[in-house]
A and B are shown apart, each in its own frame.
Chain A
Amino acid sequence: MSELIEIRKVYKRYGRKSVLRGVNLSVGAGEVVVLLGANGAGKTTLLRTVSGLSKPDRGEIQLGGASFSTAGYELRRYIGLVSHTSLLYDNLSAPENLNFFARLYDMQAPAERIEWTLQAVDLWRRRRDLVRTYSRGMVQRLAIARAILHNPPVLLLDEPDTGLDQESAEMLHQLIRKLGADERAILLTTHNLERALAWADRVCLLVDGRIVFSEKTANLTGDELRRQYREAGRPA
């Protein structure tokens, strides 16, 4: 499996607080990796750093063998990000939002792709409504649609299941499996251990900016994962 995301000894500090302390992680093409960790463990910072929104103080991040310092802004084309905020415009409809981002990504004749993406997240029927009229779950689904619109090989999803009801979460699960099967590297975070086991090929536990546990989900039971999570959270 070729590695699409390579994180090598990445350190990041905000003021006096070390948020990432020598993180090493790789995600291969077709692999779904879930990052678990308590609030403040560094999950969001790690995803921001991989996306290029934040620079590591030390260490190296490569996407498909290229780094931002060598590939420049063209590398952003290969990243889809779902963040804590929706990254959408409330006063535009879903197709208007996606059409705007399609233009920023230089997509040609994006109408067909926009329709397909909205169908994929079950929002096509609400396409004429402004985003400000959407529920929290619908906004989250549209945020996912925005992230996959330009077909990025690297998907970074920061708690994408937040605000989703059971049905939408299952739809997201199916979407993630399908996207992962299409040779994408997917790195996502969640607080839901059951979903982590169901969605991922591998789970990593991030504690105080370090990955302290990494295992394939095929070798893990729910009880084992919960035990690891509890033990990792205990003070040494």
Chain B
Amino acid sequence: MNNRVQEMNEDLVMPGEVAAAPETVRNAGPAAPSPSVQMRTNGGLGAYMRKVRAITRKELQAEWRAKEVFSTMTIFGILAVLVFGMAFDLRVPKSDMVAPGVLWVVLLFAGVLGLNRSFGAEVDRGSLPALLLAPMDRSAIYFGKMIANLIFMLAMLALVLPTILIIFDVNMIKTWILVALLLGVLGYVAVGTLFAAMTASVRARESMLPILLLPLMVPIFVAGVALTAAVVDGRTLGDFWRWLGVLSAYDLIFVTIAFIVFDMIWQES
């Protein structure tokens, strides 16, 4: 431990403690003396969560200014509901037979538009290395982006659900449907954010992401539609549990897998 960085670390690395930057790197600057840099190091779960929160906050802040992801997804979602409404109005006698399917199809396809931008924008503007250089487990990038995607999709659904109510005259703003949507969207963004990272540097990422993602969404789609239909049809609570179990298990499995493999995506050989 007689090297420079390790000497620095001896001062710095105490879980959760606040440590000053090494003496030799303080006070750099052209004119006025620099304020010393105080850094927490190895802060454990607390530090990890702060970084996840910082990434989520940055995503929301940038989206608030750019209005790129949310507006694209929402406009597509509403237009898709209108198109389905016109199409089914001609042939389907009872709209509550198709409304659950419409909801989940719109969710899947609108979601791809947002997920594509999640890492694609970082690659396009060249800012991804800045995230990869940060002193943190890279899964924090994944969770930060995943939570932001979850918020964007839930916000989109907040406008799509009333649109379905208006167009199909089917009220899907019900507790168990909202629970199903929350679990379904969570599983969707868990896998989608991972695949978005994997395809971000691929030239044809806009088409590659749905090709890879949608087949893996079958369990979510089937469980989500079945659960939503059960609620719309007024079936008993017992019918819900099986599908809620499928959605919960899917979420748990894929969030865990993503947490384990995310760092490997960025391991350049």
The finding on whether chains A and B are genuine partners in a shared complex, rather than unrelated, reads yes
Q: Using a CB–CB distance below 8 Å, which chain A residues touch chain B?
A: 2, 4, 29, 51-55, 62-66, 71, 73-79, 81, 83-92, 96, 100-101, 103-110, 112-113, 116, 119-120, 130, 146, 148, 150-153, 171, 174-175, 178-179, 182-184
Residue of A nearest to B122 (CB): A89
User: Cβ of B4 and Cβ of A153 under 8 Å apart?
Assistant: yes
Q: Nearest-CB distance from B147 to chain A (Å)? A: 15
A77 to B18, CA, bound (A): 15
Q: Using a CB–CB distance below 8 Å, which chain B residues touch chain A?
A: 2-9, 13, 18, 21-22, 24-32, 34-35, 37-43, 47, 50-51, 53-55, 57-58, 61-62, 65-66, 125-127, 129-138, 267-269
User: Cβ of A76 and Cβ of B134 under 8 Å apart?
Assistant: yes
User: Cβ of A54 and Cβ of B268 under 8 Å apart?
Assistant: yes
User: Cβ of A113 and Cβ of B35 under 8 Å apart?
Assistant: yes
Residue of B nearest to A130 (CB): B65
User: Cβ of B25 and Cβ of A183 under 8 Å apart?
Assistant: yes
With A74-B9, A151-B21, A153-B4 known as contacts, the answer to whether A79 contacts B32 (CB < 8 A) is no
User: Cβ of B125 and Cβ of A89 under 8 Å apart?
Assistant: yes
Could you say which residues of chain A place their CB within 8 Å of the CB of B43? 106
- By CB atoms of chain A within 10 A, which of B29, B125, B132 has the most? B29
A107 to B38, CA, bound (A): 6
A-B CB proximity, top 10 nearest: A65-B3, A85-B126, A64-B5, A64-B4, A87-B130, A103-B54, A104-B134, A91-B65, A183-B24, A106-B40
With A107-B38, A146-B130, A174-B30 known as contacts, the answer to whether A182 contacts B136 (CB < 8 A) is no
User: Cβ of B65 and Cβ of A175 under 8 Å apart?
Assistant: no
With A77-B135, A103-B54 known as contacts, the answer to whether A178 contacts B129 (CB < 8 A) is no
User: Cβ of B26 and Cβ of A73 under 8 Å apart?
Assistant: no
User: Cβ of B42 and Cβ of A74 under 8 Å apart?
Assistant: yes
Q: Nearest-CB distance from B17 to chain A (Å)? A: 11
Q: Nearest-CB distance from A154 to chain B (Å)? A: 9
A202 to B262, CA, bound (A): 40
User: Cβ of B29 and Cβ of A116 under 8 Å apart?
Assistant: yes
User: Cβ of B4 and Cβ of A75 under 8 Å apart?
Assistant: no
Q: Nearest-CB distance from A41 to chain B (Å)? A: 20
Could you say which residues of chain B place their CB within 8 Å of the CB of A88? 127, 130
User: Cβ of B129 and Cβ of A108 under 8 Å apart?
Assistant: no
Residue of B nearest to A181 (CB): B28
User: Cβ of B3 and Cβ of A109 under 8 Å apart?
Assistant: no
Residue of A nearest to B263 (CB): A73
- By CB atoms of chain A within 10 A, which of B24, B42, B133 has the most? B133
* Cross-interface CB contact of B22 among A104, A107, A119, A153, cutoff 8 Å: A153
User: Cβ of A120 and Cβ of B31 under 8 Å apart?
Assistant: yes
Could you say which residues of chain B place their CB within 8 Å of the CB of A66? 3, 5-6, 9
User: Cβ of A89 and Cβ of B37 under 8 Å apart?
Assistant: no
Could you say which residues of chain B place their CB within 8 Å of the CB of A120? 29-31
User: Cβ of A89 and Cβ of B25 under 8 Å apart?
Assistant: no
With A52-B133, A101-B134 known as contacts, the answer to whether A85 contacts B127 (CB < 8 A) is yes
Residue of A nearest to B65 (CB): A91
With A55-B268, A89-B125 known as contacts, the answer to whether A106 contacts B5 (CB < 8 A) is no
Could you say which residues of chain B place their CB within 8 Å of the CB of A29? 4, 24
Q: Nearest-CB distance from A189 to chain B (Å)? A: 16
With A29-B24, A81-B133, A120-B29 known as contacts, the answer to whether A113 contacts B34 (CB < 8 A) is yes
With A104-B136, A106-B40, A113-B37 known as contacts, the answer to whether A151 contacts B3 (CB < 8 A) is no
Could you say which residues of chain B place their CB within 8 Å of the CB of A84? 126
- By CB atoms of chain B within 10 A, which of A52, A74, A119 has the most? A74
User: Cβ of B30 and Cβ of A2 under 8 Å apart?
Assistant: no
User: Cβ of A89 and Cβ of B40 under 8 Å apart?
Assistant: no
Q: Nearest-CB distance from B233 to chain A (Å)? A: 45
User: Cβ of B24 and Cβ of A73 under 8 Å apart?
Assistant: no
Q: Nearest-CB distance from B123 to chain A (Å)? A: 10
User: Cβ of A179 and Cβ of B28 under 8 Å apart?
Assistant: yes
Could you say which residues of chain A place their CB within 8 Å of the CB of B3? 62, 64-66
A198 to B10, CA, bound (A): 36
18 extra interchain contacts, Cβ-Cβ under 8 A, other than A107-B39, A178-B30? A29-B4, A53-B129, A55-B267, A73-B135, A79-B133, A85-B125, A87-B127, A89-B58, A90-B125, A92-B62, A104-B131, A106-B39, A106-B50, A116-B29, A119-B31, A151-B28, A152-B25, A174-B30
